[in-house]
Amino acid sequence: GLARCARSPLMSIKLRGALTRASSDGHQPAGSPDHQQRCAATLEGYFSLKRQVLVELVADCCARASDLDLDRLGSTCFQLQDAARWESGETCAQAEFELLRHAARVAARPGHVLLVQSLQRAFMGGAAQLLQLMGGEALREWAFRVMAILNERDVQALQHELPALLKARDERVLNAFAPAPQEPASPEAPSAQEELIGTPAQASGLADESKARPGVDERGAGDSAQTTAQAVAQEALPCVEEHAEPVNVNETVKLRD
Provide the pLDDT for residue 87: 94
Provide the pLDDT for residue 15: 63
Q: Give, to the nearest 10 degrees, the angle between helix 33-64 and helix 162-177.
A: 150
- Rounded to whole angstroms, the Cα distance separating 63 from 61 reads 5
Mean of the per-residue pLDDT values of the chain: 73
Position 241 confidence tier, pLDDT thresholds 50, 70, 90: very low
Provide the pLDDT for residue 104: 96
Position 180 confidence tier, pLDDT thresholds 50, 70, 90: low
More confident residue, 169 or 253: 169
Give me Rg for the CA atoms of the chain. 37
- Rounded to whole angstroms, the Cα distance separating 233 from 252 reads 6
Which tens digit of pLDDT belongs to each residue from 208-240? Answer: 554 444 444 444 444 544 444 444 344 443 433
Position 91 confidence tier, pLDDT thresholds 50, 70, 90: very high
- Given phi > 0 = left and psi -120 to 50 = alpha, else beta, which region is 198? left
Q: How far apart, in Å, do the first and last CA atoms of the chain sit? A: 101
- Given phi > 0 = left and psi -120 to 50 = alpha, else beta, which region is 105? alpha
Q: In terms of C-beta density within 10 A (0-12 exposed, 13-18 middle, 19 or more buried), how is residue 130 classed?
A: buried
Which tens digit of pLDDT belongs to each residue from 128-164? Answer: 778 888 999 999 999 999 999 999 999 888 989 999 9
Provide the pLDDT for residue 25: 55
pLDDT surpasses 70 at 257: no
Provide the pLDDT for residue 116: 94
In three-state secondary structure terms, 84 is helix
- Cβ of 102: how many Cβ atoms within 10 Å? 20
Ranked by mean pLDDT, which of 13-27, 185-199, 228-242 comes out on top?
A: 13-27
Amino acid at 72: R
Q: Which of 160, 157, 66, 74 is nearest to 107 (CA)?
A: 66
Provide the pLDDT for residue 249: 44
More confident residue, 136 or 186: 136
- Rounded to whole angstroms, the Cα distance separating 205 from 184 reads 37
Q: What is the mean pLDDT of residues 63-68?
A: 94
Q: Which of 101, 88, 98, 102 is nearest to 132 (CA)?
A: 88
Residues 25 and 39 sit within 8 Å (Cβ to Cβ): yes
Which tens digit of pLDDT belongs to each residue from 191-203? Answer: 444 444 444 445 4
Residues 73 and 101 sit within 8 Å (Cβ to Cβ): no
Residues 83 and 131 sit within 8 Å (Cβ to Cβ): no
Provide the pLDDT for residue 37: 79
Position 51 confidence tier, pLDDT thresholds 50, 70, 90: very high
Q: What is the mean pLDDT of residues 28-54?
A: 79
